[in-house]
A and B are shown apart, each in its own frame.
Chain A
Amino acid sequence: MKLIILRSNLKDGLAAVERAVSDSGNLQILKNVLFRTFNNKIKICATNLDLAITKITSAKIIEEGGITIPFGTFYNLVNNSDNERILVETDKNNLIFKTDNYSAKIQGLGVEEFPIIPKIENEENFIELDSAVLKEAIYKVLNAAHISEIRPEISGVLMDFQMTMIKFVATDAFRLAHKTLNNNQFKTNFNYGFKAIIPLRTISEVVKIFPENKQIKICVDQNQIFFKNEDTEVISRLIDGEYPDYEQIIPKSMDSEIVINKEQLVNAVKLASNFSGQTNDIKLKIDPGKKVLEIYSANQYLGENNYLIPIKLKGTEFEEIAFNWHYFLDGLKVIDHENLVFGVNKSNKPSIIRPPEDGSYFYILMPIKTV
């Protein structure tokens, strides 16, 4: 193999596959990155046997071929190199890295040692959507997901595909985030629905490495999911297990609902958090006049504070309710309207945060017991 490649192309390619490089494990080859010519371009590929990322980038190919080399070393060389053009060449199982005034020889392993990247079984059926739409949906729910060793089935984001809509759901048992995409936001030729639990690591990579404003294609089979656009491919295992019956968790009705300015509420929570105790709790209640929400916290060593925000109340007022402020803020942050609706149910039932007049997104949170 012999080729000339621009440093920025090489760097972008390596950065895209970085998170699929295995950082531990028995097999040395998984710390390597596969580097081979492909249709007059370069294919860079890494895997940890859970997910595999492949990035195709352009280069001037002089001689076809391929090699695998330790990712860390290669990436450091590319990162620190100060030349725009890099000559890459193989010599048996070595990779020779050359610029105008620098040369290095990295020991690698043959291409045949590298794991074979599995194919998706059903590539005919796919969902196609704008990457910005997918990213926005995932960002809305990602915060609520949590890696759990006891409950592997919630260590990911549920993709509940129902032909006319896609629901993304994430939960860590304390809160649950839910985002729906309608059928004008995606195209598909699937004629049946499915539920897939995408590992958290996979989905976080997908939102990072796919560029905005390009179409992404998603394919799914029994135990894998595949994301691709013209130069990037991600294939990952799915989490095997049954996702909790999230529809049961969604409250059917609310005792009280308030409409409140989002920025003010975020600000109030941030201020109140300064006085919250070790339980990270902040408290909320509606003032007797029913026109003001009070957000407050107190700590016997630090002092106390309270913040008042005007609200519009629907339903009955609620007495003191407490939340973990980190969790509360996670739900507020992703609301992109000026106002938001905050719904409360009595007696330690879950509360809900959602944008007004938009049912596609909501965030459900368990209050802290206040006895």
Chain B
Amino acid sequence: MELKELWQSALAEIELQVSRPNFITWFKSSHLLDKKDGAALIAVPNNFAKEWIENKYYKTILAAIRNLDDTTKKLEFIVHTNPDTAPKIAEPKSRKLPEPDQPIFSEMRVDPETNLNPRYSLTSFVVGSSNEMAYAAAQAIIKEIGKKYNPLFIHGGVGVGKTHLIQAIGNEIKNLYQNKVRVRYVPSEKFTNEVIWAMRNKRMETIKEKYRLIDVLIIDDIQFIGGKTRTEEEFFHTFNALYENNKQIIISSDRPPKFIPTLEERLRSRFEGGMICDIGYPDYELRVAVLKSKLADKKVNLSPEVVDLIANRVKKNLRELEGVLNRIIFYQQTKNQEITAKLAEQIVGESAQEPMQQKTSPVQVIKAVVDFYEVSSNDLVGRCRKKELVEPRQVAMYLLRDLLDMSFPYIGEKLGKRDHTTAIYAFEKISQEVNKNPGLNNKIMLIKEKLTKS
């Protein structure tokens, strides 16, 4: 770099003219930031250095620079702390060492610069058919930041690994490009809080300053900014500023952009302009693979039949899967007892009970489906076989079976006195479709979400 070389040569000359302690104190961690219109902008580590250099060494520096480059007419100084070169101040040693068993606040494990949790890495991300597309897109982005897929929009249900993947992208980029690429991970809740702070304190410019210097912006759970007008607006401007400068933007959400009802149109169309990837519910193989990788991490052994049992019982949420696994491991360690399939069954049974089961009634399920598809309940149970009615009907049957574990004859009966084979056919069809068709998967997820909330 030209600036760097120029400053190095100038420093070499200055070094000859001032005493060693003075040189170390005042010049060591300075650097040349910029040079234009005959003015050289020099960054110094603190205000003391600024005052001193400006007043005592102005001529010395100007002469040294002009010897090398006579277009420079004047010098300007700015205080700019660079953590890598900042002088270490000898502070009194701390009075006590942190105890090894003392846990820290989980929020403090993150890297303050990027806000990323180093725990998430691409190597620990287990790839299966449900997430391979998202994974491939992630890898493409890491190779060509901001060029290939921008923005990358990843959506999927709760606990399928969205946060893991997007944080892993951030960590990977950080490690790969060292500190040359500025990465920042922000849950949308935090972004909202920052906007609120800035609004209340009349400092909107702090958000602009902070976010527009980023090379890779990762926003988690974007659906939460929907409906928060000022936050959306600020995010929109940030998004545009970054996008126009070819900075990479990665967004996660629990549903595709068009299903976030409160999201403003202009934001939605921008999200859809990039790459949209879906992470589906993990299939059996992926669940087993995740369990095995967790076991390897924790250096614990469990018999294959227990692993199989957990993978079969916890089907959707990988976080829940990990929770059940932790419980089993905890049991094994505290009771010092070999985990048999029977014991595992018992533990899984305790924790994996879906709270929905006790609360939801068939009527509620049907109502949720009717509301979602905006059809009448008469049509739903009726005989009409229009396409707009078949899907809701089949989804209703699927949900009654999936959530409430009702018998097929009963389901048939409930939905217009149909034969139980119709119900079986509907359940199987939807079960297969869910894995293939992300749109349908999402609809079902939204209906379930509604049910849990009501």
Contacts and interface: CB of A to CB of B under 8 A. Distances in A.
B161 to A, nearest CB: 22
Contacts of B334: 371
Interface string A164-176: 0000000111101
Contacts of B190: 245, 248
A283 interface: no
B24 A26 contact: yes
Interface stretch (A134-142, A148-156, A284-292, A302-310): A148-156
B108 interface: yes
Interface string B49-62: 11110010000000
Interface stretch (A89-97, A234-242, A260-268): A234-242
Contacts of A327: 102
A25 B112 contact: no
Interface in A117-131: 117-118
B101 A241 contact: no
A222 interface: yes
B197 A162 contact: yes
A28 B104 contact: no
Contacts of A279: 99-102
A32 interface: no
Interface stretch (B83-91, B342-350, B365-373): B83-91
B48 A193 contact: no
Given A173-B105, A237-B46, A116 B112 contact: no
A140 to B, nearest CB: 18
A314 to B, nearest CB: 24
B453 interface: no
Interface residues of A, number: 62
B147 to A, nearest CB: 28
A201 B24 CA distance: 23
B48 A118 contact: yes
Given A26-B24, A28-B21, A326-B96, A245 B51 contact: no
A80 interface: no
Contacts of B107: 244-245, 248-249
Interface in B19-61: 20-22, 24-25, 46-52, 55
Interface-centre pick from B46, B197, B201 (highest chain A CB count, 10 A): B201
A245 B103 CA distance: 18
Contacts of B90: 23-24
A146 interface: yes
A193 B197 contact: yes
Contacts of B55: 116
B202 A191 contact: yes
Interface-centre pick from B81, B88, B108, B334 (highest chain A CB count, 10 A): B108
Contacts of A297: none
A26 B48 contact: no
Interface string A192-214: 11100000110000000000000
B321 to A, nearest CB: 18
A350 interface: yes
Interface in A245-284: 245, 247-249, 279-281
Contacts of B140: none
B79 interface: yes
A224 B168 CA distance: 36
B259 interface: no
B355 interface: no
B104 A371 contact: no
A224 to B, nearest CB: 6
Given A25-B25, A279-B101, A116 B51 contact: yes
A173 B101 CA distance: 13
A193 B200 contact: yes
A240 B81 contact: yes
Contacts of B50: 118
A115 B54 CA distance: 12
Contacts of B21: 26-28
A364 B108 CA distance: 13
A192 B203 contact: yes
A27 B56 CA distance: 15
A52 B47 CA distance: 11
Interface string B3-25: 00000000000000000111011
B425 interface: no
Nearest to A28: B21
Given A147-B91, A242-B112, A244-B108, A366 B47 contact: no
B94 A147 contact: yes
A367 to B, nearest CB: 8
A329 interface: no
Interface string A4-24: 000000000000000000011
A174 B48 contact: no
B25 A49 contact: yes
A193 B204 CA distance: 10
A83 interface: no
Nearest to B98: A174
Contacts of B25: 25-27, 49
A215 interface: no
A26 B99 CA distance: 35
A68 interface: no
B112 A244 contact: yes
Contacts of B47: 118, 223-224, 237
Contacts of B193: 245, 247
Contacts of B203: 192-194
A33 to B, nearest CB: 16
B170 to A, nearest CB: 16
Interface string B62-97: 000000000000000001010100001111111010
Interface in B321-345: 330, 333-334
A49 B49 contact: yes
Nearest to A49: B48
Contacts of A201: 91-92
Contact of A324 (B99, B108, B201): B99
Nearest to B23: A26
Contact of B52 (A115, A147, A174): A115
Interface in A158-187: 161-163, 171-174, 176
21 contacts: A26-B21, A26-B25, A49-B25, A49-B48, A116-B48, A116-B51, A116-B55, A118-B48, A152-B83, A173-B105, A174-B98, A174-B104, A193-B203, A223-B46, A241-B112, A242-B113, A244-B108, A324-B102, A327-B102, A364-B105, A366-B105
Q: Which 5 A-B pairs have the closest CB atoms?
A: A193-B201, A118-B47, A26-B21, A173-B104, A116-B51
Interface of B: 20-22, 24-25, 46-52, 55, 79, 81, 83, 88-94, 96, 98-105, 107-108, 112-113, 190, 193, 197, 200-203, 330, 333-334
Given A27-B21, A174-B103, A241-B112, 6 more contacts: A28-B21, A118-B47, A147-B94, A194-B203, A369-B101, A371-B330
